[in-house]
Structure 1
Amino acid sequence: MPPKPKSRPPIVVNGVEIAIDDVRSEAQNHPSDKPVQAFEQAARALVIRELLRQETLVKGIAAEAEALGDGLKETDEDAAIRVLLEQEVIVPTAEEADCQRYYQNHSNKFCSETLYEARHMLFAALPSDETARADAKTAAEAAIATLVDNPSQFASLALALSACPSKEQGGNLGQLTKGSTVPEFETVLFTLEEGQLSPVPVPTPFGYHVIQLDRVIEGKTLPFDMVRGRIAAWLEASSWSRAVSQYIGILVSKAEIDGIDLGAVDGSLVQ
């Protein structure tokens, strides 16, 4: 945790001081490469929380704490702030036209992943074993040479030579998506044409691979009806965040806050 700056004035919200120890504790919820930045984000979050807490007192709001799952439960203060925001921040339901417009303007976000049906042979060797790596590469090169002349032998060669359990299926890896294998493997796989064999052995941390791409199933744009709920939820969440920011901005404008400059208020700081 970052130490308290020696010259920093106390943070006070309408006469209520925010304890520096509380800021340090809150900073754990704002991970950052820069401790000072985490400290500032934590301070902002606690100032906003204090403003909301004070507003619940002004409005006389008391609420029953709700269960949060995993055995956790709201504090009474959390419950009161939740009810305050429910009362003061009204977010309209996303209209069909809004959802349609978002879908049309961001259709690339709603595509199924491209699938790559591939098979391989693994000639295993650890990166630290130079002799084994050299032998594995030589064996993989020999397998490629055989397959160039006899492509139908991939399954039988995989069964006989591959160190991967997929050899029992002729080296078949099923349908792969981006990120499902190591980068070195994918870099080559995604450059192959359907039916093409990797021209040279492919090195990875596991050894050397002989790769064959059997089929590519291109991703397709999902129908609107399949993603409408997701779009509506995102639009409403975005509207809620903006509305909360505006509401907090109003509270800030009416408050006397010393020791920190809140700047632009971010609704995401409400936890």
Structure 2
Amino acid sequence: MNADSQAVTGAATHAPARVNHVEIDLNAIAEESRHHADDPDPQLAARRSLVVRELLRQRAVQLELLDAASPLDDDVLEALLARELRTPEPTPEDCRRFYEQHPTRFIRNEIVYASHILFAVTDRVPLALLRQKAEETLNALLAAPDTFEARARQLSNCPSAGVGGSLGQLMRGDTVPEFESALFDHAEEGLLSRLVRTRFGFHLVRIERRGAGEPVAFEDVADDIARFLAERVRHKAIQQYVSILASGATLENAAVDAATGPLVQ
């Protein structure tokens, strides 16, 4: 069977999803969407999540790990993945290479003073329109950077708007990963020339100044790196595995692309 990997758009967003012979109704999608409130499109994320789970459930039934009428629980999922996936463990050389290639990740007590303007994702504004507004504002700021505070007070959807967008002193772990990467994984200062996308929306970011930290010894982070690399390999393997399952299924209004879609969050 072939997978119908078309995007879910228009009327399809108001239709049930189907995985082979099993329908995922709109009530289930709405209920699941509560667990994806931070996603830019909670309904789409919920649809995708339920479709992926149903693909895995049906595979578990095929392998007689689960009764056909039973839901997929975490124990059965782990048993399924343990049976179907084989992922290599990172070697000490892999960990050392990652450490040397990403020196900015292994700094202790690094501080960034930053400001931002947030264009927050809401149900009322289409994502494309929101991005366009953010890009127009960024271009205006690049031409007139001294207007940052005034534009933050006028446009930002963050409480920091009241202080001209200032976020004050930030350290690693203080923000969501996407924002942290923009702050700490580069050495730029001043207004960043690109939008920063997070689960909350589009950010215009200005780095006021940086406080240098101290490098962390490889020996102190080797175990953390090994766990990170192992999880990254496992995550990629699960994505590929679900893509294979999707390619062999008949999908309707499924919000997954059997070849390239972000199937597992």
1:134 match: none
Number of aligned pairs? 156
**TM-score when scaled to structure 2?**
0.53
Conservation of the 8 A alpha-carbon contact between 1:242 and 1:267: no
Conservation of the 8 A alpha-carbon contact between 2:39 and 2:45: no
Instruction: Tell me how far 1:81 sits from its aligned partner.
Output: 1.5
8 Å contact kept, 1:113–1:219: yes
Q: 2:23 aligns with which of 17, 22, 29?
A: 17
Instruction: Say if 2:89 is the partner of 1:85.
Output: no
Return the index of the structure with the highest Cα Rg: 1
Q: What is the alpha-carbon distance in structure 2 between the residues aligned to residue 93 and residue 31 of structure 1?
A: 34
> What percent of counterpart residues are identical?
28
RMSD: 2.8
CA shift in 2, pair 1:260/1:222, >3 Å = same
Gap runs ≥5 in structure 2: 1-9, 112-167, 172-210
Contact kept? 2:256, 2:263, Cα under 8 Å: no
3-state SS, counterpart of residue 241 of structure 1: helix
TM-score (normalised: structure 1)? 0.52
CA contact (8 A) 2:19 2:249 kept: yes
Equivalent-residue separation in structure 1 for 2:39 and 2:49 (angstroms): 18
Q: Letter of the 1:250 partner, please give it.
A: I
Pair 1:243-2:237 in alignment = yes
Match of 2:250 in 1: 256
Q: Residue 8 of structure 1 contacts residue 259 of structure 1 at CA under 8 Å; is this kept in 2?
A: no
Which consecutive aligned stretches of 4+ in structure 1 deviate over 2 angstroms post-superposition? 4-10, 75-78, 177-180, 263-269
- Unaligned stretches of 5+ in structure 1? 64-74, 116-176, 181-216
Q: Which structure is higher in RCO with an 8 Å CA cutoff and minimum separation 6?
A: 2
Measure, in 1, the Cα distance between the counterparts of 2:77 and 2:84: 10
Q: Quote the Cα distance in structure 2 between the aligned partners of 1:6 and 1:256.
A: 16
**Which residue of the partner structure matches residue 39 of structure 1?**
43
Alignment deviations for residues 202-257 of structure 1 (CA, whole Å, 9 cap, x no partner): xxxxxxxxxxxxxxx96221111100011111111110110000000000000001
Shift of 1:100: 0.7
Superposition pairs for residues 190-201 of structure 1, below 5 Å? none
Q: 1:233 to 1:223 in 2, by over 3 A?
A: same
SS at match of 1:265: coil
Aligned to 1:12, the other structure's residue is in SS state strand
